[in-house]
A and B are shown apart, each in its own frame.
Chain A
Amino acid sequence: MHAFLVTLILFTGAVLASLALLIALNKAGREGREHLDRRRRHILEPAVFRYIHETGHRALPNYLPKSLSRRDRRVAEAVLLDAARLVRGEARDRVTAAFEALGSVRDAILGLRSQRWWKRAESAERAGLMGSQSAVEPLVAALGDDEGEVRIRAARALGLVRGSTSIRPLVGALADPNRWSAIRVAEILIGVGPEAVGELLAAYDRLPVAGRVSALDILGRIRSLEAVPLLKRTLNDQHPDLRARAAYALGLIGDPAFVAVLIEALRDVEWPVRATAAKAIGRIGGRAAIPALCEALKDRQWWVRANAGEALRLLGPEGRDALIAMLEADDTYARHQAVAQLEEGHIIDDYIADLGSPDESRRSAAVRFLEKVIALQRHERLTQQSVEHAQEGIRRTLLKILNRPLPEGGT
């Protein structure tokens, strides 16, 4: 027993000591490496930058010391990777050429076949940043990797290299149930722009609902006119998310001719569709939609009311007049939404300013308007202006209006 215990204690002590040692060695090793890297970088970085900044035919090795250690190559590659993120145009091409000259592209392609998934993911990322066409084929192969992180990095890398061969697998990757990955793919496709439209339209019917949502969004953000028939058709899709996205995308494309179908969508049974339709009309600025928007101001859903109100506010004088008219709507929510939008659009302030106008009719119109606002018990702005407004006359008039007994009603 005694011997066992002594062994046990010695063992625990040894484990503890080695643990502490492990921590220290880990840190010391890392810091040592970082220190050496920094020292080499100090020498190599200006040379690499000089290479990038110049024009001409001299390749990178001419700027660097004659014999490069493995560390030097790694450091130079790190500098190039940093620079690759900063530049485009001719300088970017020089960076790519430098990667090729250093042999980094070959290394990255080899790394794509590593046993460890994070090596593969890292290699894919590097290959993308290097931007070399020779990496396209191995990257396309990596799109079929077992590890999700490798697939997404490969997709992203292909987006950076941008050969048209890479668009199809990217579109396919929209089907990934992981939204984080799908968004990253979507952003790449938006970056690709009109070139991606054909593949998106061709693949649309094969995609699951979440993928279609992304596809509609991408088409909207690319502002693809070729997608309009699909978008209009989708407004009648049975899935509400798709209807909503299609409405939104039409708003992004922004042709006034869409207003008619969007007015239809304002009467959808699902509120998210109504809300996005209102938003889209606001973006397009379709005056024909004013009556429908006024109707939407009475919606049971706050989002629909808010978007409809915003749309009216963005429609200029006619929208403003509609909002003012809605102050007398029989629906409480519509009245409140109208005030909120008038406040937001500084229209209440304009009327307050009118109180000081020399024109009698404008003054009385302002008083009538402000009384309606007060009747809705939305007098915060007025109360505040009655204290803070620069003109004393206006302050006094406001106080007078505010202190008048309420006609009747309110809410």
Chain B
Amino acid sequence: MLILQSVLGEIVLAFNRAVIYYFIALNGVYLILFVISLIEVRRFVKRTFFSDYEQILRSDMTWPISIIVPAHNEARNIIETVRSLLNVNYGQFEIIVVNDGSTDLTLERLIETFDLKRTDKIYRRALPTGPVRGLYATLEYPKLLVIDKERAGKADALNAGINVSRYPLYCSVDADSIIEENALLRVVKPFMEHPEEMVAVGGIVRIVNGCEVRDGRVARIGLPRRALPIFQVVEYLRAFLSGRIGWSTLRSLLIISGAFGLYRKSEVIAVGGYDRWSETEDLQLVLKLHENLRRNKRPYRIVFVPDPVCWTEVPSTFRVLARQRNRWHRGLLQSLWSHRRMLFNPTYGIIGTLALPYFLIFETLGPFIEILGYIMLALSWALGLLNTDFFLLFLVFAIFFGVFLSVAAVLLEEISFRRYPNWEHLATLVLIAILENFGYRQILSLFKVKAFWDFLRRRRAWGRMEREGFHPAPPPPPARPNPAGGAPDTQGAPGARGAS
């Protein structure tokens, strides 16, 4: 009995030590990302000290953009979203709303508000999609086009939008997010700075809960009143300001938020567009782009601009948050699984050797270690094995380190964009940055553990879909459209305005 207890004790202690190493490694990675981001954000802010957006706006040589808005049961938001998009500060662009089989009045409200008429337009189906019921347009708003199709999911809706779009770049926008006026200019900038290499660009997504919205724009910035969304404000700050900027600088950005991202259409079509089976089609697409481009050894860039581009609403109840995070994490697992050949594979450069392993170790296995760590801590306390020294060590590395990084993210915001102007806001943010390490983050880890379980249970089901989704992917189109033949086509490369 005594032996058993001492063996158990040894195991618990050994595990506890491992957990501490894990936390040191995890927070070490975060620290490195933070330092990179700090340098990058400073540089970025200096660079945009004077912006020449006005000039670029007027130029005939800016690239036109197709904005694609998938909408499923968005009757409440869609009109405001389209209005705000129509007011976007940009030269030449079109807005394609894809009604994804809504059962509410999404389509009716669009038709009524903008006086849309059914129209015929011939376009090439570069990507296979579910049935399209019709296209709607109006002479009054020549930039607006609405696709009505049967319900087949967001990925399918985006693919349909890509098929109909005319311009070489497209921007995916969520129907419930609010776009900043200069968002397109900000994200198109990297494309024009590196015209040959740029493939996709993402930007910072902010949380609209608690802000005052008027006529499709954020009129007054505020913090949410409820606790859960405030925690997410800090979480987003950390994820975007110190996570994605860091990864982007390392040339291994894996996530571009579905709420707002700008892509080069030809590259997206080359990888078969969005995958219907994926729970997180945005992540899946970026991974596919990386895979394809790395495999073909093409120089390319997928970057993140540390500039706020859009505002979105986050879950304010526990139940919805749990569902959202479950979906995100399952999506991540699906994508990692479907790209498992890239893992630890030097052919895929830093993506294979650093970014994907990070996601595997810290994002998918990490939560298990973390949760087990807490359990073991409680267990060793129950067994009387817990000494103060160890507990303090755990506290420093698991909690305080995290607090430091959360507060540091608030500092990044304060030295860069300062979208939260009041002292009160700042104090709340710092306070929440501390508090989020006592409970909120642990709950997120629990969500991830639960999602892993769900993923394993459902893997067989989606595995089938994955295979179906992969096969019909069309062969990549030629780099330059062949003028001598081929299907009728609306895929304008740089368009009728010359390929500059």
Asked whether any CB of A lies within 8 Å of a CB of B in the complex, the reply is yes
Interface residues of A (CB under 8 A from B): 1-2, 5, 8-9, 12-13, 15-16, 19-20, 22-24, 26-27, 118, 121-122, 125, 149, 153, 156, 177-181, 183-184, 186-187, 210, 213-214, 217, 221, 240-241, 244-245, 248, 269-272, 274-276, 278-279, 300-304, 306-307, 333, 336, 344, 377-378, 380-381, 384
Whole-angstrom CA separation of A214 from B195 in the bound complex: 14
Contacting residues, chain B, for A178 (C-beta < 8 A)? 192-194
Q: Contact check, A272 vs B195: say whether CB atoms are below 8 A apart.
A: no
- CB closest residue in chain B, given A344: B139
The digit string for B37-72, where 1 denotes a CB below 8 A from any CB of A, is 000000000110110100110111110000000000
Please judge, given known A-B contacts A179-B192, A271-B483, A301-B489, whether A5 and B392 are in contact too, CB under 8 Å: yes
Q: Which residues B391-434 have CB closer than 8 A to chain A?
A: 392-393, 395-396, 400-401, 403-404, 407-408, 410-411, 414-415, 423, 426, 430
Q: Which residues B447-500 have CB closer than 8 A to chain A?
A: 481, 483-486, 488-490, 492-500
Q: Contact check, B430 vs A20: say whether CB atoms are below 8 A apart.
A: yes
CB distance from A186 to the nearest CB of B (A): 7
Please judge, given known A-B contacts A240-B499, A272-B499, A302-B489, whether A118 and B47 are in contact too, CB under 8 Å: yes
Contacting residues, chain A, for B400 (C-beta < 8 A)? 9, 12-13, 16
Please judge, given known A-B contacts A9-B396, A217-B61, A300-B488, whether A269 and B407 are in contact too, CB under 8 Å: no
Contacting residues, chain A, for B485 (C-beta < 8 A)? 300
Contacting residues, chain B, for A271 (C-beta < 8 A)? 481, 483
Q: Which of B56, B194, B408, B415 contacts A184 (CB 8 A)?
A: B56
Q: Contact check, B55 vs A187: say whether CB atoms are below 8 A apart.
A: yes
Please judge, given known A-B contacts A118-B47, A214-B61, whether A248 and B392 are in contact too, CB under 8 Å: no
Contacting residues, chain B, for A12 (C-beta < 8 A)? 396, 400-401, 404
Please judge, given known A-B contacts A2-B389, A221-B60, whether A306 and B496 are in contact too, CB under 8 Å: yes
Whole-angstrom CA separation of A275 from B496 in the bound complex: 5
Contacting residues, chain A, for B426 (C-beta < 8 A)? 23-24, 27
Q: Which of A121, A183, A380 contacts B117 (CB 8 A)?
A: A380
Interface centre among A12, A121, A177 (most CB of B within 10 A): A12
Which 4 pairs from chain A and chain B are nearest by CB?
Answer: A275-B496, A118-B46, A179-B192, A244-B498
CB distance from A246 to the nearest CB of B (A): 9
CB distance from B460 to the nearest CB of A (A): 43
Q: Contact check, A302 vs B122: say whether CB atoms are below 8 A apart.
A: yes
Q: Contact check, A5 vs B389: say whether CB atoms are below 8 A apart.
A: yes
Tell me if B76 counts as interface (CB < 8 A to partner A). Answer: no
Whole-angstrom CA separation of A177 from B500 in the bound complex: 11
CB distance from B326 to the nearest CB of A (A): 32
Q: Contact check, A245 vs B498: say whether CB atoms are below 8 A apart.
A: yes
**Interface footprint category on B:** 35 or more
Interface centre among B61, B123, B414 (most CB of A within 10 A): B61
Tell me if B119 counts as interface (CB < 8 A to partner A). Answer: yes
Please judge, given known A-B contacts A179-B192, A380-B117, whether A270 and B483 are in contact too, CB under 8 Å: yes
Q: Contact check, B59 vs A187: say whether CB atoms are below 8 A apart.
A: yes
- CB closest residue in chain B, given A381: B117
Q: Which of A26, A183, A214 contacts B56 (CB 8 A)?
A: A183
Contacting residues, chain A, for B430 (C-beta < 8 A)? 20, 23
Q: Contact check, B492 vs A336: say whether CB atoms are below 8 A apart.
A: no
Contacting residues, chain B, for A301 (C-beta < 8 A)? 481, 483, 489
Tell me if B118 counts as interface (CB < 8 A to partner A). Answer: yes
Contacting residues, chain A, for B55 (C-beta < 8 A)? 183-184, 187
Tell me if B264 counts as interface (CB < 8 A to partner A). Answer: no
Whole-angstrom CA separation of A270 from B120 in the bound complex: 26
CB distance from B319 to the nearest CB of A (A): 33
CB distance from A384 to the nearest CB of B (A): 6
Please judge, given known A-B contacts A23-B410, A378-B120, A381-B117, whether A180 and B392 are in contact too, CB under 8 Å: no
Q: Which of A1, A20, A125, A153 contacts B407 (CB 8 A)?
A: A20
List 30 A-B pairs, Cβ < 8 Å.
A8-B392, A8-B396, A12-B396, A12-B400, A16-B400, A16-B403, A20-B407, A22-B411, A26-B414, A26-B415, A121-B49, A125-B49, A125-B50, A149-B47, A178-B192, A179-B193, A183-B56, A186-B59, A187-B55, A213-B498, A213-B499, A248-B498, A269-B484, A272-B493, A276-B497, A300-B486, A301-B489, A304-B496, A378-B120, A380-B119
Whole-angstrom CA separation of A278 from B496 in the bound complex: 9
Tell me if B339 counts as interface (CB < 8 A to partner A). Answer: no
Contacting residues, chain B, for A184 (C-beta < 8 A)? 52, 55-56
Tell me if B441 counts as interface (CB < 8 A to partner A). Answer: no
Whole-angstrom CA separation of A126 from B85 in the bound complex: 34
CB distance from A409 to the nearest CB of B (A): 16
Interface centre among B56, B483, B490 (most CB of A within 10 A): B483
Q: Which residues B193-221 have CB closer than 8 A to chain A?
A: 193-195
Whole-angstrom CA separation of A322 from B55 in the bound complex: 40
The digit string for B224-263, where 1 denotes a CB below 8 A from any CB of A, is 0000000000000000000000000000000000000000
Q: Which residues B140-194 have CB closer than 8 A to chain A?
A: 166, 189, 192-194
Known: A22-B411, A272-B493, A274-B483. 5 other contacts (CB 8 A): A2-B389, A5-B392, A12-B400, A183-B56, A303-B495
